Amino acid sequence: MSHYVPPKQSKLSQLLDVIVLVTLTVGALFVPLWLNMAGSSKSVAAPVASPTWEALGQNAVQAAQYEALGYTPETAHDLILSRFDYSFTAGALIVMIVVIVAYYFLMLKFSESEYREVISEKFGDN
């Protein structure tokens, strides 16, 4: 098998590669942020008017710890009652599974073909 000789990369082309990578990285982090699709937020489903520790579902010990931390029933109201929403659709779950499986499949397939080339150059064809 003929030996593959990689081209020598110019300084400018090296710089361009770095810029491409950094742009993609920053994009992956900030695009979901800009589109406001990021993160899961908590919300209070059933607010309690004029809350007391009992109304917030706290027993005496729990209430004592909150008071030691400097909370009153009013200031602790949102902290105690807000909950995540874990509902999801089957469609979204399937999309995620397909994306993950497809990603690893693609990865292994491309890697395998490149790897065969490496091995045959390193160890010879037989």
Of 11, 45, 46, 49, which one interacts with another protein (CB under 8 A)? 11
Q: Let me know: does 77 contact 49? Beta carbons within 8 Å.
A: no
Number of other CB atoms surrounding residue 66 within 10 Å: 19
Q: Which is nearer to another protein, 49 or 99 (CB)?
A: 99
Whether 122 and 5 have beta carbons less than 8 Å apart is answered as no
Are 80 and 46 within 8 A, CB to CB?
Answer: no
By CB under 8 A, name the one of 54, 74, 100, 105 that touches another protein.
Answer: 100
- Measured between alpha carbons, how far is 69 from 79 in angstroms, rounded to an integer? 13
Nearer to another protein among residue 50 and residue 113 (C-beta)? 113
Distances (CA, A) of 54 to 44, 50, 65: 17, 11, 14
CB of 8 to another protein, least distance (A): 8
Instruction: List the interface residues with another protein, window 72-91 (CB under 8 A).
Output: 76, 78-80, 83-84, 86, 88
Among 47, 54, 57, 74, binds another protein (CB under 8 A): 57
Residue from 46, 49, 61, 90 binding another protein (CB under 8 A): 61
In the bound state with another protein, the residue whose beta carbon lies nearer, of 9 and 52, is 9
How far, in Å, CA of 71 to CA of 63, rounded? Answer: 9
Residue 27 found at the interface with another protein (CB under 8 A): yes
